Amino acid sequence: MASRAGGLRINNVSLPPNKPIHVALQYIYGVGAFESTKIIAAAGVHPRMKVEKLTDTSFAFIRAAVEKKFEVKNIQVKKIASNILQKVQMGSWEGYRHRLCLPVRGQNSKTNGRTQKKLGKLRAAAMGVPIISKKPGWINQPTLTVISQTKAAPSAPAPASPK
């Protein structure tokens, strides 16, 4: 247990020293509860051990395992953005839903999907995805309105002319 002046950092993320290691590893983008327990089991460290109590060798093993398996957050976000842009350019259904800023994975969009409708435009602008404001085919098409003609009441017969 050597003192670390800069704290413990993995993939440009500072791990909180007072948290258990299985919780602290989840601060890294892409590492969840399952992955953190797998990494800790491979390192042979007790999951409830605090980060500040880790030895240098166990921390080095954990750092190597995380850096080998997981990428830095910025690289992952760029990969996700390029995958979405590829779907949009390919013309797939998911890409079409991304362009409309609607839920992609089959969710209801009439009553639900408010979050995607609001935040989808912000995400699309950040990733450079072109946005369609309305469904294609509906733009600039005149709507036909049929005005029902009311039938006039039958007129009274003309008065007979006197002879």
Confidence class for position 74, pLDDT limits 50, 70, 90: confident
Residue whose tokens read 């259904």? 93
Q: How far apart are CA 6 and CA 60, in angstroms?
A: 15
Q: Please provide residue 20's backbone torsions phi and psi, each rounded to the nearest 5 degrees.
A: -65, 150
Please state the rounded mean pLDDT for residues 132-154. 48
Please state the rounded mean pLDDT for residues 28-50. 90
Mean pLDDT taken over the chain: 76
State the pLDDT at residue 144: 39
Q: Please provide residue 8's backbone torsions phi and psi, each rounded to the nearest 5 degrees.
A: -95, 125
Report in angstroms the alpha-carbon separations of 11 from 14, 62, 106, 128, 137: 8, 12, 34, 26, 47
Confidence class for position 34, pLDDT limits 50, 70, 90: very high
Would the pLDDT of 133 be above 80? no
Confidence class for position 68, pLDDT limits 50, 70, 90: confident
State the pLDDT at residue 50: 92
Would the pLDDT of 63 be above 70? yes
Conformation bin of residue 133: beta by default, left when phi > 0, alpha when psi is -120 to 50 = alpha
Q: How far apart are CA 38 and CA 44, in angstroms?
A: 10
Of 156 and 54, more confident: 54
